[in-house]
Structure 1
């Protein structure tokens, strides 16, 4: 296992518009296989980033050094927390990073979040979910239907906060000094694999793993197993 000595806790952060249930699916099986406690985070819809950072701070205060494990937006938050708290971070897992280089509303993930927020406000949550389900793989449609309904009327604010979030720039990634695993999907247009390759190249000593979206959709736990290695 990359993270040594083995930490007591993995704090799992979901992606934009996602929820703690999917973070649990992605990392829970790998944590169980390694006798690690997992704390999947349900973001506060009024303060997504702040609530994720607070969950990491709280876990570190209670358990000591933790692994900050995030997907998409959660990956960016995990990197930022790891940079700011190298003495508390046993490691970082960056799953499906979407962008490098600070604020850029034109990256695919930010554009998708912004368009979806506008659609919810214009046509309502039910119609937006129907459109999403018509154009998404079954596993993603089920996942987002659950999480979007959970956020309800707050969903546009959740998505717009994510769209405005400044992704780590190259200098920030180079400054991450804790053990890091990056996991990318080779066929994901919203989280391009070259971004995962770039993050792994910039973060000192980072390990890169790859998967396909079909593999991830069939078994979200694959991300956790790739990140945490063989028990």
Structure 2
């Protein structure tokens, strides 16, 4: 299921990053980013900064962290997981001279998020949190989630409470990554997507790939990512290697 798209633009070359600045998905945390991307980046010799966004200013604080990392002229490999990947690709479009590349694990949607499964899930969870409180919502989540996911979500949700509902709502409204924004990104983009993920559907990653100037998708599975989150980071960097960018 992997595929690639390339253009003739001379701006598209190898990733020459001074560091990677990566963002978690909505409701997730920097610790997951470290476990997901740290091993692959260590092998590639790229230092990792795993960002914990401010849940009260999810998008703004994420963009600020990326821009702050460029001080001194450093070039950044941007991206992350789900909404983190979306913010990373938006930043790369807005900062072409500072972006060295993008790694995008489990893209969730393009453009308006209204019908996207991940956005609907975030809105639903935010509403439940406001109505029932975090303890009741965690109990319900645990009853319907595999243990590895339930443990991860409980830890990250409690870390972000009581601002968690606001962060989920903000993520669910994020529509800045349009087809035109994707088409404007000139750096290589390594994508990892899971055909068995109903919340981050393969079709979303394929739409990103179709509009990006240079991108490759490596398939992973949620089962494997549950056993070892590093599967996501290895998938993204394998995609960059498939492009000849690493």
Q: TM-score, normalised by structure 1?
A: 0.94
After superposition, where does 1:95-174 map in structure 2 within 5 Å?
A: 95-100=105-110, 102-174=111-183
Is 1:216–2:225 an aligned residue pair?
yes
Question: Residue 203 of structure 2 corresponds to which residue in structure 1?
Answer: 194
1:10 matched residue in structure 2:
20
Deviation at 1:62, TM superposition (A): 4.3
User: Out of 21, 34, 51, which is 2:61 matched to?
Assistant: 51
Q: Summarize deviations over 1:59-117 as a string: whole Å, max 9, x none.
A: 111461110021100111011000001110000111111112x2232211111011101
Q: Which runs of 5+ in 2 are unaligned?
A: 1-11
Structure 1 residue runs of 5 or longer lacking an equivalent are none
Q: Which runs of 4+ in 1 moved over 4 A?
A: none
Distance 1:103 1:20, change over 3 A: same
In structure 1, the residue matched to 2:52 is 42
Deviations 1:110-151 (A, max 9, x none): 110111011111111011011111111221111111000001
The CA RMSD measured in Å over matched residues stands at: 1.6
Partner of 1:181: 190
Conserved? CA contact 2:20–2:77, under 8 Å = yes
Q: Aligned pair in 2 of structure 1 residues 5, 188: CA closer, same or farther (>3 Å)?
A: closer
Q: For residue 6 of structure 1, report the CA deviation from its aligned partner.
A: 3.2
Which has the larger helix fraction?
1
Provide the aligned length of Structure 1 versus Structure 2: 229
